[in-house]
Amino acid sequence: MQNYRKAGLVGAIIALVIGAGVISASLNSCAALNTLAGLSKIQFKLNNVQSVQLAGIDITNKHTMSDFGVMDGVNLVAAFSSGKFPLTFTLNVAAKNPNAATGATALNAFQVTDFPWRLLMNGQQTISGNIGAPVGVPGGGTTTMIPLSVSLDLKQFFTNQGYDQVVNMALGLTSNGGTSQLQLKAQPTISTPIGPFKYPSELTIVNTQFSN
């Protein structure tokens, strides 16, 4: 009879330990869910365009056709007539994490580890790409820039556009931040202390508001 009582006592202790473990796991799960809920608040926005080159000519400080010198104009016409009209620039995407930078809800250890994107220019889908290395996004509302290197052939994607139209499209990138004619479709993956979090669908990232 005494052995039964000992066995019952041991069983009760084991059950208590298991119960405490279940409660702890539940609390940890709740904390994880709260962390993921905070992660969903990371926001993205097109910030500006830099280092714009058209057919190898730096047009960063040019805004109209009249800004081109004679030789630049000759070279641009020759490039357009060749059937290829390469445009390169850096598109800076702003990433903002409005969560607290300190305390139990700190998100300052998070990184954007994967950022597959598709670029639309004047509504026309062009090229796609990804980031070359993880980018940290600290908490506290600090804005971090994610630079994307863009290189596309305007003649390939705008076959029905004439010379003046295509050049003016490129010049549009050098005025007022240069992002008004751009849209980015992206599906980020964020590294967190409890594992990676992939956005469930593509974001449409524009220059007028943050997307999350």
DSSP of 124-177? EEEEEE--SS-EE--SSS-EEEEEEEEEEEHHHH-TT--HHHHHHHHHGGGSTT
Q: Under DSSP, is residue 113 helix (H, G, I), strand (E, B) or coil? A: strand
Closest CA to 178 of 198, 150, 204: 150
In sequence order, what are the residues at sequence separation of 6 or more whose Cβ sits closer than 8 angstroms to the Cβ of residue 10? none
Residues in the chain: 212
- Top pLDDT among 40 and 184 is at 184
Give the pLDDT confidence of 159-200 residue by residue, as tens digits. Answer: 999 999 999 999 999 987 789 999 999 999 988 777 888 999
Structure tokens given for 132 = 């070359």
Give the pLDDT confidence of 97-151 residue by residue, as tens digits. Answer: 877 766 554 545 688 999 999 999 999 999 999 999 999 988 777 889 999 999 9
Span of 12-21, 63-72, 157-166 with lowest mean pLDDT: 12-21
In terms of Cβ atoms closer than 10 Å to its own Cβ (0-12, 13-18, 19+), residue 184 is buried
80 pLDDT above the threshold of 80:
yes
Mean pLDDT throughout 62-76?
Answer: 93
